[in-house]
Amino acid sequence: MTTIKLHNTRTRKKEEFVPIDPKNVRMYVCGPTVYDRAHLGNARPVVVFDVLYRLLREVYGAEHVTYVRNFTDVDDKINARAAETGRPIGEITAETTQWFLDDMGQLGALEPDHMPRATQYIGQMIAMIEVLIEKGHAYEADGHVLFAVDSWKEEYGKLSGRSVDDMTAGARVEVAPYKKNPMDFVLWKPSTDDLPGWDSPWGRGRPGWHIECSAMSYELLGASFDIHGGGNDLMFPHHENEIAQSCCAHPEGRFANYWLHNEMLQVEGRKMSKSLGNFFTVHDLLEKGVPGEVIRFVFLQTHYRKPMDWTEKKAREAEGVLRKWRALTAGIEPAASAAPAVVDALADDLNTAGAIAELHRLAADGDAAGLLASAQLLGLLTEEIGAWAEGPKLDLSSHEARLAAARAEAMESKDFAEVDRLKAAYLAAGLEVRMSKAGVELVPGPEFDAAKLEGVG
């Protein structure tokens, strides 16, 4: 059996993955808070852990892997959106949940085995909080229930590499007067009549964010499971707090054995930000004509533990590669299994960049069947997300010949006006213009519009 190695955030080293039960490999990944469209950064962990899910299924068998990814559908951001729009909270969360599933489906992400909504597990959250109070790890104050970090002081902070004393000394935010320690965090908070709320031993209220994942993972995966994943922005405090709650409520378990965190995403070398005008959702890109498969390919070119830079140039190049691969594999049955070198790359801490390099080699060797099976292990070249590449094949040979002739003439006359005119027209039509000693190539980009080629001559 293939040996999988994963970088464990908790131990800060790459370790051989040994599941608790090879017949029941279990993974939990933190999902979205559903109040708006998923932005591009939200999609990166979905794709990263989709690849890991596919690899685990390949190695252990699909029937032996359980993947859970939650939806947070009770949250102050959702409450604010309801107040802002006047729409019912349930209507907003139902709509945005479906948006998320639709958009991630366009990226080729398989749906997890379980997708629990936080509001479906309020009873389990209340029960876990009661246990924490009973064991001396939580306390009630002013209608709130808080986790007492001092009760877990020796262990708290080990995931993120922080100490409670250092975090307390560095706390600069205004601390609620009812907290015993500035680092204590909310398990339950009171709700006013205009906010969602549930009856509890501490009055009508709603859960804090962190308790949701602890309760849902326990109910669906048990006190100990194999892998917990998410973006590295969740490492502290969310994942740190999950560990504290879960291990204190269920000391018989270890919670998660392996912790994986993906790095963040940039756009054209800069942090994605509305103020910089480079903030966009997955839906925005899809609406602009960027295929979901192209988005996925760009993501996979960078290792999940490195910052990923989204650029239009990468998207254009990815579309060109995928078109060639789809043409090469058209009408071909995939090989019985992915190429061993591709599986080995993925098994080495999800080295997707290395796996894609192997796909290029398979394509160069003309191994269409091997390419197809191997690409599909990464969620590429699947039928489900291939509609964008269908339709009449573009014949740009006459335009390429025209530009090549203009360039040859310009080399003689030293007058490049016609070359510049043609290049400008082709770029305006959404074509990438590639000129080299080997010749001229026109490659359709995400915004290609064939109608704009009319009259170019």
> Binding site membership for ATP: which residues?
274
d(CA 216, CA 120): 9
Q: Are 387 and 292 in contact (CB under 8 A)?
A: no
What are the binding residues for Zn(2+)? 30, 213, 238, 242
d(CA 100, CA 139): 36
Q: Are 337 and 362 in contact (CB under 8 A)?
A: no
Token digits of residue 270: 């800069």
Token digits of residue 409: 């003439």
Token digits of residue 94: 């139902």
Within 10 Å of residue 112's Cβ, how many Cβ atoms?
20
- Helix axes 368-377 and 340-347, enclosed angle (nearest 10): 20
What phi, psi does 162 have (nearest 5°)? -120, 155
Place of tokens 């804090």: 208
CA-wise closest residue to 370 among 325, 336, 402, 419: 336
Torsion of CA 353, 354, 360, 363, to 10 degrees: -120
Q: Are 352 and 317 in contact (CB under 8 A)?
A: no
Q: Where are the alpha helices (DSSP H) in 301-448?
A: 312-329, 340-347, 352-364, 368-377, 397-413, 417-428
Instruction: Specify which residues 224 forms β-bridges with.
Output: 255
The letter for the amino acid at 407 is R
Secondary element (H or E) of residue 26: strand 25-29
The separation between CA 173 and the C-alpha centre of its own chain, rounded to angstroms, equals 30
d(CA 418, CA 413): 11
Token digits of residue 4: 């999988």
Token digits of residue 174: 């205004």
Dihedral sign, Cα of residue 262, residue 353, residue 60, residue 97:
positive
Q: Are 227 and 258 in contact (CB under 8 A)?
A: yes
Q: Are 179 and 144 in contact (CB under 8 A)?
A: no
Token digits of residue 58: 């390949």
What are the binding residues? 30, 213, 238, 242, 274
